[in-house]
């Protein structure tokens, strides 16, 4: 089906999400942003993949051009993905998620194995800061940067939220990520990881590299999950500097034999 292009605001619950859909007959790819990022960070990946794909991006609540909400939980983000897919008439998409979006992608894939063709996960891994010490560290970090958050929001790297609201999202995410090894272990759809290198804002020296090593256990246990690339960029710059590696992982899933290849032909309802 040659789906029409569309850009606009999608009403969901008490908010509206800003959605862009390039339309066309290509295979549908839905991009899931980092925790506080807007959709513009995908522009280089989209350019690399070109018109062979139908690209669907959207800003989560209080990010980018989307409206504020009373609920910013992980569960509501999963439901927002459902709302976008329903509104755009998309079945069995390929999900591409960075950071927070990667964790959304593997949880949505786990819950909806018959509704997704596969997932590309960009520098997200099943590790997190947990316990009281972890929660306090996260809260201190966002309080330290509270004056920069409005500027970050204008740059597409922060949400229109308070420092405490930013921290709440991060605390919840860390706890969900830390419990995700069993989720990844049971995924039945094809998944490709693209991992960055080094540390990121708020991490201690070597901490993120140690976290990425936890994926070795997952890769060894689940043949549906593979490492597509380990790139030199850090977590924050991976989409900007290593977009070809992310595009390559998408193409790998496009030609994967078995379920993914069968499902791509059913991409539009």
Determine the 3-state secondary structure of 160 from DSSP: coil
Q: What is the pLDDT of residue 256?
A: 65
pLDDT digits (tens, 9 = 90+) for 161-198: 999 999 999 999 999 999 999 999 999 999 999 999 98
Is the pLDDT confidence value at 265 over 60?
Answer: no
pLDDT above 60 for 246 = yes
Sheet with 118-122: list strands edge to edge. 6-12, 15-21, 53-58, 27-32, 94-98, 118-122, 191-195, 225-230
- What is the SS3 string spanning the chain? CCECCEEEEEEECCEEEEEEECCECCEEEEEECCCCCCHHHHHHHHHHHHHHEEEEEECCCCCCCCCCCCCCCHHHHHHHHHHHHHHHCECCCEEEEECHHHHHHHHHHHHCHHHCCEEEEECCCCCCCCHHHHHHHHHHHHHHCCCCHHHHHHCCCCCCCCHHHHHHHHHHHHHHHHCCHHHHHCCCCCEEEEECCCCCCCCCCCHHHHHHCCHHHHHHHCCCEEEEEECCCCCCCHHHHCHHHHHHHHHHHHCCCCHHHHHHCCCEC
State the pLDDT confidence band at 17, using cuts at 50, 70 and 90: very high
Degrees (nearest 5) of the Cα angle 55, 56, 57? 120
Q: What percent of the chain stands above pLDDT 90?
A: 86
Residue of 233, 230, 239, 242 whose CA lies nearest to 192? 230
pLDDT tens for 28-56 read: 999 999 999 999 999 999 999 999 999 99
pTM of the model: 0.93
């Amino acid at each position: 089906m040659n789906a029409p292009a569309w850009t606009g605001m999608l009403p969901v619950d008490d908010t509206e999400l800003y959605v862009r859909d390039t339309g066309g007959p290509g295979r549908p790819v839905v991009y899931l942003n980092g925790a506080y990022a807007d959709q513009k960070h995908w522009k280089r990946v989209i350019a690399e993949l070109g018109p062979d794909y139908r690209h669907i991006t959207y800003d989560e609540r209080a990010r980018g051009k989307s409206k504020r909400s009373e609920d910013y939980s992980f569960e509501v983000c999963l439901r927002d993905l459902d709302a976008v897919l329903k509104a755009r008439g998309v079945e069995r998409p390929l999900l591409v998620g960075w950071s927070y979006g990667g964790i959304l992608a593997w949880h949505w894939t786990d819950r909806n194995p018959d509704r997704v063709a596969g997932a590309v996960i960009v520098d997200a891994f099943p590790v997190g800061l947990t316990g009281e010490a972890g929660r306090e560290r996260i809260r201190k970090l966002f309080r330290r940067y509270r004056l920069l958050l409005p500027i970050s929001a204008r740059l597409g790297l922060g949400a229109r939220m308070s420092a405490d609201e930013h921290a709440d999202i991060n605390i919840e995410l860390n706890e969900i990520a830390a419990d995700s090894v069993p989720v990844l272990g049971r995924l039945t759809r094809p998944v490709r990881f693209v991992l960055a290198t080094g540390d990121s804002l708020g991490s201690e020296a070597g901490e993120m590299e140690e976290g990425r090593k936890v994926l070795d256990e997952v890769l060894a246990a689940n043949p549906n999950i593979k490492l597509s690339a380990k790139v030199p960029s850090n977590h924050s710059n991976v989409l900007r500097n290593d977009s070809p590696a992310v595009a390559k992982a998408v193409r790998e899933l496009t030609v994967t034999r078995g379920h993914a290849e069968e499902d791509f032909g059913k991409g539009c309802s």
